[in-house]
Amino acid sequence: MKVSDFNYNLPKELIAQVPIQNRDQSRLMVLDRKCKSIDHKIFKDIIDYLEPGDCLVRNNTKVIPARLYGVKEETGAHVEFLLLHRIQGDIWEVMVKPGRKLMPGTKVIFGEGLLEKSDNPRVLLKAEILEQLEGGSRKVKFEYEGIFNEILNEIGLMPLPPYIHEKLKEKDRYQTVYAKYEGSAAAPTAGLHFTDELLEQIKAKGVEIANVTLHVGIGTFRPVKVENVEEHDMHSEHFYIKQEDAEKINKAKREGHRVIAVGTTSCRVLESIADENGMVKEIESDTNIFIYPGYQFKCLDYLITNFHLPESTLIMLVSALAGKDFVMKAYEEAVQEEYRFFSFGDAMLIK
């Protein structure tokens, strides 16, 4: 199976640069796997496809303002950090620019002069590069006074994907309304379409809502560099699921109802932990599961997702669920119908 099998032509103007004004007014393409039919709806219509007893599984991770701009302590040269994940304590794995000038031993200052107008100007954050890691990232130790997350909120920026060039006016638009646990370098974007009101309507219909937490790594944007799909080395991401949420999912499976994953991250958690009967349990672990055509789903019944990059692991995942030919046909139709693509774009329901 070739990576090029998952390519499609996408005009740049269809890549959504800003979020739609009302989250649940984005468009929704509905793919029926049995009939091989495609319908065009509005996202708030998602409730019409959910039944009492179904379980909607969402990822409640929260994006941290992980992009930092600073200067080298010795030279004042400008540098950029992107926090990937916390290794331990104040030691993080970080992507850096320019990489050739940020070798072990280099010290970096962030937030210098930000509080010049105050009576107590100070450097908010310092970092020392400890080690160069495989893939070009760095192991970095931070020094600071106060609470790290509060400092990030003061000086960090949302780590928008590289294909978004517009500045984000409201930070919370790159968060789901149910984001809770900080740790992601990217948003689980299928969840961006939900509003509090829509979720209340879904609950009122008798649909259970279960949470998983998977902290999305920047690897989600890394291109597949091998020619054969099977040779791709999938990045690892940390996740956990609580017992009460596992029980909601298992109840739906036992009673013959459907499990609907909100996004590929929720899907990957479910399929990483499900047994042969589709049952799950409370667990905290890491997953590098790679789902591509030929995979047999154990837990998932429906998937809510966005439109993904050509030749990405995510379009391979949806192709595993709906079939490559059907998915590529749907993407071709989405281009013709001028759907909005990628993180701030429109949504798809595969049923």
The three-state secondary structure class of 131 is strand
Query: What pLDDT, on the 0 to 100 scale, is given for residue 220?
Result: 67
Express each pLDDT in 150-206 by its tens digit.
899 889 999 898 899 998 988 899 999 999 999 998 999 999 999 999 999 999 999
Query: What pLDDT, on the 0 to 100 scale, is given for residue 114?
Result: 52
Residue 89 phi/psi, 5-degree rounding, is 55, -120
CA distance 59 to 46: 17
The three-state secondary structure class of 309 is coil
Q: How far is CA 186 from CA 10, 159, 191, 319, in A?
A: 22, 7, 12, 22
CA distance 206 to 201: 9
Look at the block and give the residue holding tokens 């429109």: 346
The 8-class DSSP code of residue 21 comes to S
Query: What pLDDT, on the 0 to 100 scale, is given for residue 117?
Result: 43
List the chain residues with pLDDT less than 70.
112-123, 220-221
pTM: 0.91
